[in-house]
Structure 1
């Protein structure tokens, strides 16, 4: 088979890839050892390609996968590129660009074969060339045309499902009414939904760019400072991250592994009406001083006044008194949780304003979103017991708010402190904050990994 200039270029990138794999494995082996010599034979071009063509059957390139539905499901996965799908008005895999990322499912030990097929020459990957039955790739693979065709056919099968299309008992299934008679079984189709993994990956990349890119950070900084900026600010409120695969995200798929198992879920919630104008607490030293921003809220003033009046009446120290006191306390804690959530709805980073005089613990409490862009703030927040300080400040505030005629001291302080520490709403907020911070740290670690990988490839 005559070798053209383009085929020679493709062969060069193939041999470079194989050599890099060899160098990584042979790094700690003695050149005169038997294991080294066996590795040399294994990584000869024809030998490695023969082995890769055999192992490629353990993988499948897909756009829609089953394991995200249930990790033990063993039904079919599908490769449906955007151009093969119907165009319609809602967002779906059909809107993906030509350079979309296909996912890979199967034996994680064979993923090096997929990495081989993803290497590019002249802007086109080997996988694209295989699927197009590219003659230049065939020339590059082997000097023997028959051998090249065998390998080309083996590699091209990576997009084909194994066996007949099938669902599985652990997969989700939906009966979809296609006719008008809901009591007639023949009027239904049985659907087996798959996870649109290529679309999910594109969404993940777009959201991470909007959250963590230098342009996005500069745009949010300009917004906080009231400056005009060329870059739009994109925000994703109430977003969640679904973890797939646990400590082994590669068992779900290749793209899931690249995301560290993180899959973003956008909020699907009814509208929330703002019943009051919520402003950031600027030019104050604390929201929990006396009376303070929190204490001046109408509902809080009313509850504290009622509790103070009740306690000043010197009620009997019986179960009824304790229950009523605890009821008032619980309602005040509900107001504290509501206040916290309303502060969290403000644009992240407001505590960085030069007019913000809050202690860092209160900034950590009320402006958690600042941790997304401010690395110093994030590190300090992760290494500070700010919830404990908030509980201490709340207990001090309530002691002072109820003071005057009442001789309140350390005993009451410890009681309010304990009540806040075990309040269910408080625990839910802290649990939500912990999960959010863990997801943020995972995202930042993924971004760092991608940047390092990009630097290495560059």
Structure 2
């Protein structure tokens, strides 16, 4: 049964106001006796404009799932699948969108005024929604001629329909999804063509932007910093990334992408945090790299160091086999060092500020980087110190001492262990990650300083 909500007179007034606003904008600098002015008068007569809009609407498609974010030159199908048409499940997807979700529009940017027309709202419902519902009041508002109104309604309703047959494209992504049990049987696979959930992405963008930049969010974060009560919760999105789509012409991707200036948020997808229930901060010690020290006393480390020491005690020939085996043991010890580092990083930041912590400051820089977030003196000292080289020096001294006794280890071996740690790929990834985190922290703190300065000046 078609909906009867909203009087046709009110809808016609809404349409006429839209056309007048657009006419006034285009005719603002034209004299009334200018032929171009008269042409605009003719163009923006309701019947004339609607006839032209019904023709141009075929150049647009309202979608919830689009292809161009996958590749800007792909030319396959886009889909309009509103939440109520999708299966419900526990995962987050387009089916969880609210009833007033934002549909996206793709196609000829020159015809976007037609979409703006269909987005007009009356009594909380857009003209597009009314078109799709077959609203008889809107049909009456469009024209006094029923046949004409019906033709326009049909044309406008086509904006949600795919153009032609469903098709993928060579630049689109495709995935073979196994639906049967025989991986050697082609019939046991479906070929999927993933699309970008553009309406869902826009909802995520709006939510995160509100949580990060709205006046309420700013007031809540200020209250948290000052230890005051706030009615709103603080929402934080660590390690947030932004994907830019469309370059300098985001409108070539879609209308919603243009509204976001091409920005699309990517939430962090990271492995689980280390389970640190049995990991305790190294308090009341001056170094974790003493002999044997906290690190050296770990069962796995003791086993590896013991095996390497027994092998070297045999005074093996200095050939390729010896070097390879020595390097294998060294690599496994370095893996244990990386594991130890990550476990220390999993402790609550700032543990090295405890009065019982006696670690050398370079080891605090190494094992408690999170303290730099809130401790300015610690942060400045960390940024001005070549602490990684000091850690390499301490590690080389520790391994020399751990392997000592019968073995005459000295400067040559020290330089070897030092070099091995410096060029170890896992250690480099940890340092690179630390560097990027510190750069982001400094940028965030600089932005906070700018914001506080602006607040002070208001």
1:271-294 per-position Cα deviation (integer Å, ceiling 9, x unaligned): 888486234667889877888765
Map of 2:263 onto structure 1: 260
Q: What is the CA–CA distance in structure 2 between the aligned matches of 1:261 and 1:84, rounded to whole Å?
A: 25
Map of 2:13 onto structure 1: 8
1:423 aligned to 2:420? no
Q: What is the CA–CA distance in structure 2 between the aligned matches of 1:276 and 1:204, rounded to whole Å?
A: 36
C-alpha change, 1:278 and 1:110, in structure 2 (3 Å) is farther
1:351 aligned to 2:356? no
1:338 aligned to 2:339? yes
Map of 2:398 onto structure 1: 401
Q: What is the CA–CA distance in structure 2 between the aligned matches of 1:417 and 1:18, rounded to whole Å?
A: 75
Which stretch shifts more, 98-107 or 115-124? 115-124
Q: What is the CA–CA distance in structure 2 between the aligned matches of 1:340 and 1:408, rounded to whole Å?
A: 26
1:290–1:400 Cα contact (<8 Å) kept: no
Structure 1, unpaired ranges of 5+: 445-458
1:203-242 per-position Cα deviation (integer Å, ceiling 9, x unaligned): 56567777888769969x98xx9x99987898989x9969
C-alpha change, 1:317 and 1:261, in structure 2 (3 Å) is same
1:71-220 matches, cutoff 5 A:
71-87=72-88, 91-107=92-108, 111=112, 114-115=115-116, 117-118=118-119, 120=121, 122-132=123-133, 153-169=154-170, 170-172=172-174, 174=176, 177=179, 192-202=193-203
Please state whether the residue corresponding to 1:339 is helix, strand or coil: helix
1:138–1:145 Cα contact (<8 Å) kept: yes
1:265-344 matches, cutoff 5 A:
274=275, 277-279=278-280, 294=295, 297-300=298-301, 323=324, 326-344=327-345
2:290–2:398 Cα contact (<8 Å) kept: no
> 1:247 deviation in Å?
3.6
Q: What is the CA–CA distance in structure 1 between the aligned matches of 2:286 and 2:145, rounded to whole Å?
A: 80
Which stretch shifts more, 208-217 or 276-285? 208-217
Q: What is the CA–CA distance in structure 1 between the aligned matches of 2:52 and 2:435, rounded to whole Å?
A: 46
What is the RMSD computed on CA atoms of the aligned residues?
6.2
1:392 aligned to 2:398? no
1:235-278 per-position Cα deviation (integer Å, ceiling 9, x unaligned): 989x99695747466544444563624444756x7x88848623
C-alpha change, 1:398 and 1:159, in structure 2 (3 Å) is same
C-alpha change, 1:240 and 1:9, in structure 2 (3 Å) is closer
C-alpha change, 1:192 and 1:398, in structure 2 (3 Å) is closer
Q: What is the CA–CA distance in structure 2 between the aligned matches of 1:285 and 1:48, rounded to whole Å?
A: 81
1:48-81 per-position Cα deviation (integer Å, ceiling 9, x unaligned): 8777655543331112233455554432221121
C-alpha change, 1:112 and 1:242, in structure 2 (3 Å) is same
Please state whether the residue corresponding to 1:165 is helix, strand or coil: coil
1:406-429 per-position Cα deviation (integer Å, ceiling 9, x unaligned): 8867x8777555434432223444
Which stretch shifts more, 296-305 or 420-429? 296-305
Which stretch shifts more, 396-405 or 200-209? 200-209
1:371-396 per-position Cα deviation (integer Å, ceiling 9, x unaligned): 7xx8x98xx89xx869x834213213
1:283–1:355 Cα contact (<8 Å) kept: no
1:65–1:195 Cα contact (<8 Å) kept: yes
Q: What is the CA–CA distance in structure 2 between the aligned matches of 1:120 and 1:204, rounded to whole Å?
A: 23
> 1:343 deviation in Å?
4.3
TM-score in terms of structure 2 length: 0.60
Structure 2, unpaired ranges of 5+: 1-6, 446-458
Which stretch shifts more, 97-106 or 276-285? 276-285
> 1:98 deviation in Å?
0.5
Q: Give the structure with higher Rg (CA).
A: 2
Please state whether the residue corresponding to 2:164 is helix, strand or coil: coil
Q: What is the CA–CA distance in structure 2 between the aligned matches of 1:49 and 1:280, rounded to whole Å?
A: 72
1:312-331 per-position Cα deviation (integer Å, ceiling 9, x unaligned): 99998776665555444423
1:373-384 matches, cutoff 5 A:
none
2:57–2:114 Cα contact (<8 Å) kept: yes
Q: What is the CA–CA distance in structure 1 between the aligned matches of 2:56 and 2:283, rounded to whole Å?
A: 63
C-alpha change, 1:273 and 1:134, in structure 2 (3 Å) is same
